[in-house]
């Protein structure tokens, strides 16, 4: 893997309110859903990240952008970062969050998802779902007249990936040509990272144990996107080879929520894929370590790496809020209420 030796400036090249990517995304994405990173073009991914950086630097400019907008979060899975980052995000934009705990009553069980959508769309402006089945997300979106956001499903975690690559931009500037390595399970997070990296021109390497590769449909789509953007997607089964020359090494738990019954089976399979100091030494000297959290300490990553100087995991967590604020602004037409965009 070739090393990346030059980094472009971190700051936006033109004022955010005149950025053509942001203006075009604001026009196209208003009222749309985000079920998958594949719902976005490369320019729209760039726009979300550019806007996210500006929202983070200049929060006061956006504090009334979503005045009186109502967001409902319907979560079938436990959450710390996703719930709080969405709630604080819309609150600081002037809107309001309503949380519905679906952990004991999965969506579609008490009444059909279509009926839920047709009710909820009459009260709120955006629906944020954290579910097991990805079909729950797409069915809600198909039946709702207000935007639906995937806050995690068994197939993708797009909001996580947007925050992750926003964090990488803070550290490296332009991500075109960066070498990004993911080590571990080919799961929902892996899927969204592959797609987002390809959209931004990053060279993405995925290292998984045999039998735990990412979904072939996502692989094919990510490869097509990568080819169009002049970058590369590699799938390996050797974590050491994948880490060689990497600018960023990312991992996740090897047992996702809902898969706990496989813990005993998976533990020995994924042990060689642990991110430890030896593996990090194969990366570039200025490489960063990433994890979506929560982490199983000394399982998929050692304490020395997770708490070490290369770790940016809490920057990632912080940027969940800023990236999601940018997403909400675009989906809900909020830039029309921001003075500098008028």
Please state the pTM of the whole predicted model. Answer: 0.95
From residue 90, how far is each of 71, 236, 237, 240 by CA, in Å?
Answer: 8, 40, 41, 41
3 state DSSP class of 16: helix
Q: Are residues 108 and 171 in the same domain?
A: no
3 state DSSP class of 265: helix
Q: Are residues 45 and 82 in the same domain?
A: yes
Residue 10's nearest CA partner among 168, 170, 166, 164 is 170
Average pLDDT over the chain, rounded to an integer: 95
Mean pLDDT computed over 50-58: 98
3 state DSSP class of 179: strand
Residue 266's nearest CA partner among 305, 183, 188, 209 is 209
Does residue 157 carry a catalytic annotation? yes
- Give the domain CATH number at 127: 3.40.50.1370
Task: Specify the number of domains making up the chain.
Answer: 2
pLDDT at 328: 98
In a domain, 6, yes or no: no
Q: Provide the residue range defining the domain that includes 264.
A: 160-317
pLDDT at 4: 46
* Residue 257 banded pLDDT, cuts 50, 70, 90: low
In a domain, 340, yes or no: no
Q: Which is catalytic among the residues 125, 164, 292, 316?
A: 292
pLDDT at 264: 85
Mean pLDDT computed over 229-236: 98
> Could you give the CA distance from residue 18 to residue 341 in angstroms, rounded to a whole number?
8
In a domain, 7, yes or no: no
pLDDT tens profile 118-166: 999 999 999 999 999 999 999 999 999 999 999 999 999 999 999 999 9
pLDDT at 13: 67
Does residue 130 carry a catalytic annotation? yes
Mean pLDDT computed over 81-102: 98
Mean pLDDT computed over 14-39: 96
Q: Which is catalytic among the residues 46, 130, 134, 191?
A: 130
Q: What radius of gyration, in Å, describes the C-alpha atoms of the chain? A: 19
* Residue 278 banded pLDDT, cuts 50, 70, 90: very high
Does residue 160 carry a catalytic annotation? yes
**DSSP string of 273-328, one letter each residue:** G-B-HHHHTTS-TT-EEEE-S---BTTTB-HHHHTSTTB-HHHHHHHHHHHHHHHH
pLDDT at 256: 67
| CB-based contact 329:93 (threshold 8 Å) | yes
Does residue 122 carry a catalytic annotation? no
Alpha helices by DSSP H, the chain: 20-29, 42-57, 81-91, 113-120, 134-143, 158-172, 188-199, 216-228, 239-243, 263-270, 277-280, 303-306, 313-331
Q: Are residues 148 and 170 in the same domain?
A: no
In a domain, 1, yes or no: no
Mean pLDDT computed over 73-77: 97
In a domain, 4, yes or no: no
Q: Are residues 313 and 165 in the same domain?
A: yes
Q: Are residues 309 and 167 in the same domain?
A: yes
Q: Regarding predicted confidence, which is higher, 7 or 123?
A: 123
Q: Which is catalytic among the residues 46, 53, 157, 291?
A: 157
Does residue 254 carry a catalytic annotation? no
Q: Which is catalytic among the residues 53, 81, 291, 320?
A: 320
Does residue 252 carry a catalytic annotation? yes
| CB-based contact 323:87 (threshold 8 Å) | no
């Amino acid at each position: 893997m070739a090393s990346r030796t030059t980094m472009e400036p971190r700051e936006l090249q033109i004022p955010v309110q005149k950025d053509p990517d942001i203006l075009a995304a604001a026009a196209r994405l208003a009222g749309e859903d985000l079920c998958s990173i594949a719902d976005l073009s490369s320019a729209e991914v760039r726009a979300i990240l550019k806007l996210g950086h500006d929202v983070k630097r200049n929060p006061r400019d956006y504090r009334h952008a979503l005045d009186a907008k109502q967001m409902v979060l319907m979560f079938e899975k436990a959450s710390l970062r996703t719930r709080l980052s969405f709630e604080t995000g819309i609150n600081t934009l002037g809107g309001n969050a309503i949380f519905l705990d679906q952990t004991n009553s999965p969506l579609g069980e008490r009444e059909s998802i279509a009926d839920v959508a047709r009710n909820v769309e009459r009260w709120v402006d955006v629906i944020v779902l954290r579910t097991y089945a990805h079909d729950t997300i797409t069915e809600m979106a198909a039946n709702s007249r207000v935007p639906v956001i995937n806050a995690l499903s068994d197939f993708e975690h797009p909001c996580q990936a947007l925050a992750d690559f926003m964090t990488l931009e803070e550290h490296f500037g332009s991500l075109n040509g960066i070498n990004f390595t993911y080590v571990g399970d080919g799961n929902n997070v892996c899927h969204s990272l592959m797609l987002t990296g390809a959209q931004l021109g990053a060279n993405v390497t995925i290292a998984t144990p045999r039998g735990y590769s990412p979904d072939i449909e996502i692989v094919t789509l990510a490869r097509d996107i990568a080819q169009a953007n002049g970058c590369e997607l590699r799938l390996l089964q050797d974590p050491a080879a994948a880490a060689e020359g990497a600018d960023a090494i990312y991992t996740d738990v090897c047992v996702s929520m809902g898969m706990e019954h496989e813990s005993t089976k998976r533990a020995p399979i994924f042990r060689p894929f642990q991110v430890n100091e030896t593996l990090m030494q194969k990366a570039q000297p200025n490489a960063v370590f990433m994890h979506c959290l929560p982490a199983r300490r000394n399982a998929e990553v050692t304490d020395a790496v997770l708490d070490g100087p290369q770790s940016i995991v809490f920057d990632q967590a912080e940027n969940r809020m800023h990236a999601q604020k940018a997403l909400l602004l675009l989906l809900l037409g909020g830039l029309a209420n921001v003075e500098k965009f008028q």
